[in-house]
Structure 1
Amino acid sequence: MKEEKWLVVGTDARLKMLAKKLSKENTRTVYYKNESVWDEDLNRMVYEFKPNFIVLPIHPLPVEVPLVMGVSGAKIFAGKLNDEWKSILKNNEISYYLEDEGFIWQNAALTAEAFVSSFYNTKQAIQGKKFIVTGFGRVAKMVAHILRSIGGDVCIAVRSNVQLSEAKALRYEVVQLDDVGYVDGDVFINTIPAKWLDQEFNEKIAMPIYDLASYPGCLNDDVSRKDYELLPALPGKFFPNDAAHVLYESIVGQLRR
């Protein structure tokens, strides 16, 4: 059987655990590089190693070299790619694990549980508190479900009529996002991956905000706030082994298709 050469790149702890899981197969040589940029050292290593498979982090790595080398012919697994990386990898076969429904839902479930773990670090209980959750995508659904199951009161704030109707059908209190500043609560959780919270919203929302969306979060560039915490990549921080297993299953599943 032909030996497989794998490269896993990224600073998320789940990626280090993923490399360990991949290396359990005797037919694989796996290198893990704890890098946040594609620099000269990484470029040289990849050129010499010439991997058959490359796993990139969810967000595209900044490129600090004039020419990315050693990736020709490699199958790529990535979360998202920007235009620069799409141009670099235009001749490569690419699988996006953020388009795998199995990965997305399992990652959302881990994100919800990790938020609860993070919230408990504030020495506060969930039961009896009211949580305002913006959006009603996969992460918001899982967060709302786990909070309500523990005893929290959940209000969903959305702009989409489809999401509004869905949340209502599941017996959540629902408001339009534009009216969220008039809702009283104890904790505000954002899951919308866009800079939507402007100064007008900022002045109306009195409760602490926890942002589960990806960097750069929901705050507009001109908004400054003390009781705001951006919490990206929670699964890798709280449950790196479980998060790595979810990613491993996604990658192996895509290889089998």
Structure 2
Amino acid sequence: MLTGYHVAVIGGDARQIEIIRRLNEWNATVYIAGFDQLNESFTEATDLEFESDQVKKLDAIILPVPGTDDLGQIDGIFSNRIITLSEDWLRQTPEHCQVFTGITNSYLTDLMKKVNRTLHPLMDRDDVAIYNSIPTVEGTIMLVIQHTDYTIHGSKMIVLGLGRVGMSLARIFDHIGADVSVGVRSTKAIARVYEMGLTPIDMNQLDEEDLECDILINTVPHLVVDQHVIKQLPSHALIVDLASKPGGTDFDFATKRGIKAILAPGLPGIVAPKTAGRIIADVMCRILKEKVRKENVHE
């Protein structure tokens, strides 16, 4: 339970709806902004008035998964209102106020340092990323089925990256029956791919690797699916890039080759926003409770 906690949820997508519901279930006092089109649905939440004393009560602020843009503006699909996270406003929050976001950028990171508030980029956490890999894999399967005219079973597939998402992708597509190769850089990762019964590809020597496949899935957040890689793909191949914008694919060259390439970051919020919202809410709750526990121990 979060009885006595004051939490502001600002902007976002359908994931934030589930977060608000969970906070209400845990008896927190919830303030919302950026949900003008849905406010009537949240009878237990209070509109956040930025010029009021509400800010002085906040124990936590929850931003959308993308955080803010480079000007501090917060996006949301349920309002046309522009909300900017400013230094002056944040300085009015209590010193213990914590700010939660999915990912951060230089503006948000620098702002938190200026106002001396704790920032939690939740997508950097192993637990959140691993939980999120479940709806990410399901969403990827959906995209592959929608955009191909052949079965996953028996297809030759390459997954680039063996991180928290890449490992789940490789394992599940192998179970479905695809012939999976995994692009990695370290000898440790090569050994792990071998142990999984899959075929390792050394990304340090891509020029020497056979990269022809039916489906290529990229999880690496910098350009790796370049012209050399795309030239090896057959015309029927599908590229699904799961890296954050702008992705790791040369989309212009893929278009010139007539190869379908899809940039699909943030799949959990698209295919399973309820589950994705619960993941964020549960982890945030644990962080808040852990802080209180530590403070009580030191008293």
Q: TM-score interval w.r.t. the shorter chain?
A: 0.7 to 0.9
Residues 190-209 of structure 1 aligned to structure 2 (within 5 Å): 190-206=218-234, 207-209=237-239
Contact 2:212–2:232 (8 Å) recurs in 1: no
Give the percent of matched residue pairs that are identical in Structure 1 and Structure 2: 24
Residue by residue over 1:202-224, the C-alpha shift from the partner in whole angstroms, topping out at 9 and shown as x without a partner, is: 32233221001111100258745
Q: 1:179: how far off?
A: 4.4
Instruction: Say yes or no: does 1:22 pair with 2:23.
Output: yes
Q: Which of 135, 156, 162 is matched with 2:182 structurally?
A: 156
Q: 1:54 Cα shift?
A: 0.9
Q: Give matches, 1:1-257, under 5 Å.
A: 3-33=4-34, 45-48=49-52, 49-50=54-55, 51-62=58-69, 63=72, 67-72=86-91, 73=94, 74-90=97-113, 91-122=116-147, 124-177=150-203, 178-179=206-207, 182-206=210-234, 207-220=237-250, 223=253, 225=255, 226-257=259-290
Query: How big is the shift at 1:3?
Result: 4.1
Structure 1, residues 13-62: CA drift from partner, whole Å, max 9, x if none?
21222122212233412315259xxxxxxxx9434341431112333312
Q: Which runs of 5+ in 2 are unaligned?
A: 37-47, 74-83, 291-299
User: Structure 1 unaligned runs (5+)?
Assistant: 36-43
Whole-Å separation in 2 of the counterparts to 1:10 and 1:224: 34
Residues 100 and 250, structure 1, Cα contact 8 Å, conserved in 2: no
Tell me how far apart the structure 2 counterparts of residues 66 and 214 of structure 1 sit (CA, whole Å). 22
TM-score (norm 1): 0.85
Q: Classify the secondary structure of the residue corresponding to 2:25.
A: coil
Mapped partners of 2:85, 2:28: distance in 1: 33
- Report the AA paired with residue 189 of structure 1: I
Whole-angstrom distance in 2 between the partners of 1:30 and 1:78 = 16
Call closer, same or farther: CA 1:195–1:60 in 2, change over 3 Å: farther
Q: Which moved more, 1:12-21 or 1:144-153?
A: 12-21
* Secondary structure of the corresponding residue to residue 174 of structure 1: strand
CA distance in structure 2 between the aligned counterparts of 1:124 and 1:162, rounded to whole angstroms:
34
The one of the two structures with greater contact order (alpha-carbon pairs below 8 A, sep at least 6) is 1
RMSD: 2.6
Q: Which moved more, 1:14-23 or 1:44-53?
A: 44-53
- CA–CA distance in 2 between the matches of 1:176 and 1:16? 42
On the 8 A contact 1:19/1:30 being kept in 2, the answer is no
